């Protein structure tokens, strides 16, 4: 086992990702109540449990209403490059967070996105928040995990939890008990499913480009002719034709030249 276990926490805005990390790390990071649109920006938080150090990366996925590549997705592409650079060193586990509800198209898009990012090689557990009115607290997951299986979600495990903090003392007494139960369930699930060593999902620079283009196509449905060109030669350098095509793709979707140059340069800096 390496010295620090790295865990990627993934999901849309306002589903309780930060609350999950606060619960595990016993921190009080600010909980957001708004969505930037489409952002892949990561924030790191540390925790110690049972003599092992953990790093949690709080990362947002797609949100409702995404798909317009002319506005916030311009910043999202840069954030995505940062995430790809971060992910290339690998993780021990992925926690996919969602709120208790019926499965949606957005759930599948986010699941497919994280599967693409990691080649499906890193175990992923599904944490469903909003179980404060369910007894026992993990009953929702036990009753619904077969729904995820039928919909072809390949989660290693899952659970339903409560992260709510009561606004009044009489409510907080109840919620505190539920959070403590949830914390124990979470740590048990993490320890049962995390890898002993992280899996590096990006082995060479060309794969950064391949993943970026695949995700852009998946998320915004851009038609990308790059895959007809080929991405690598024997030295592992990106072929000039790929960069030219990528620049043309961005320009066709209203990216100005300064933004295009910044994005391409950022890709070359990823090592």
What is the pLDDT, as a whole number, of residue 87? 66
- Does residue 47 sit in the same domain as residue 172? yes
**How many angstroms separate the CA atoms of 161 and 107, rounded?**
18
Strand partners, 105: none
What is the pLDDT, as a whole number, of residue 251? 80
- Does residue 149 sit in the same domain as residue 235? no
Angle at 156 between CA 154 and CA 159, to 5 degrees: 105
**How many angstroms separate the CA atoms of 127 and 158, rounded?**
6
- Does residue 81 sit in the same domain as residue 121? yes
Range of the domain at 262: 205-269
- DSSP track, 196-240: SS-B----SHHHHHHHHHHHHHHHH----GGGGT-SB-TT-PBPH
- Does residue 213 sit in the same domain as residue 121? no
Query: CB atoms < 10 A from the CB of 125, how many?
Result: 21
- The structure tokens listed for 98 are 């969602």
What is each CA distance from 63 to 9, 31, 250, in whole angstroms? 15, 16, 22
Is residue 199 packed enough to be buried (19+ CB in 10 Å), middle (13-18) or exposed (0-12)?
middle
Write out the chain's pLDDT in tens, 271 residues.
557 899 999 888 789 998 999 999 987 655 454 444 444 566 788 999 999 999 998 876 666 544 444 445 566 666 666 666 666 678 999 999 999 999 998 888 888 888 877 878 899 999 999 999 999 999 999 999 999 999 999 999 999 999 999 889 999 999 999 999 999 999 999 999 999 999 877 666 666 667 777 777 766 666 655 444 444 443 445 556 667 777 777 787 777 888 888 777 777 665 5
Place of tokens 């086992």: 1
Residue 199 inside a domain? The answer is no
Give, for 142, the enclosing helix (H) or strand (E): helix 139-150
- Does residue 147 sit in the same domain as residue 224? no
- The structure tokens listed for 171 are 């409510």
Q: Which of 135, 162, 193 is the last residue of a domain?
A: 193
What DSSP state is assigned to residue 91? B
**How many angstroms separate the CA atoms of 16 and 32, rounded?**
9
CA neighbor of 69 nearest in space, from 215, 216, 226? 216
Where do the H-state alpha helices sit in the chain? 17-25, 73-87, 105-118, 139-150, 169-193, 205-220, 240-252, 257-269
Query: CB atoms < 10 A from the CB of 174, how many?
Result: 13
CATH code (residue 147): 3.40.50.300
**How many angstroms separate the CA atoms of 76 and 72, rounded?**
6
- Does residue 40 sit in the same domain as residue 170? yes
- Does residue 47 sit in the same domain as residue 15? yes
Residue 246 inside a domain? The answer is yes
**How many angstroms separate the CA atoms of 32 and 255, rounded?**
29
Q: What total of structural domains would you count in the chain? A: 2
């Amino acid at each position: 086992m390496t010295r620090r276990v790295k865990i990627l926490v993934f999901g849309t805005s306002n589903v309780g990702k930060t609350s999950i990390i606060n619960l595990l790390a016993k921190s009080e990071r600010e909980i957001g109540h708004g969505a930037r649109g489409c952002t892949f920006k990561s924030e790191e938080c540390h925790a110690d449990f049972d003599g092992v150090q953990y790093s949690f990366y709080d990362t947002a996925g797609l949100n409702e209403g995404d798909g317009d590549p002319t506005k916030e997705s311009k910043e999202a592409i840069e954030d995505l490059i940062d995430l790809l650079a971060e992910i290339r060193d690998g993780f021990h586990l992925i926690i996919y967070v969602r709120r208790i509800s019926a499965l949606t198209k957005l759930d599948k898009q986010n699941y497919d996105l994280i599967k693409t990012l990691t080649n499906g090689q890193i175990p992923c557990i599904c944490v469903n928040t909003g179980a404060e009115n369910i007894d026992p607290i993990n009953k929702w997951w036990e009753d619904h995990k077969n729904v995820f299986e039928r919909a072809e979600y390949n989660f290693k495990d899952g659970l339903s939890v409560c992260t709510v903090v009561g606004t009044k003392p009489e409510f907080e007494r109840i919620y505190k008990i539920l959070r403590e139960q949830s914390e124990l369930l979470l740590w048990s699930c993490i320890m049962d499913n995390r890898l002993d060593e992280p899996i590096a999902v990006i082995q060479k620079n060309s794969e950064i480009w391949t993943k970026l283009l695949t995700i852009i196509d998946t998320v915004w449905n851009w038609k990308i002719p790059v895959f007809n060109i080929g991405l690598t030669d024997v030295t592992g350098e990106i072929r000039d034709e790929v960069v030219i095509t990528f620049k043309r793709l961005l320009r066709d979707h209203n990216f100005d030249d300064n933004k295009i140059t910044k994005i391409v340069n950022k890709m070359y800096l990823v090592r």
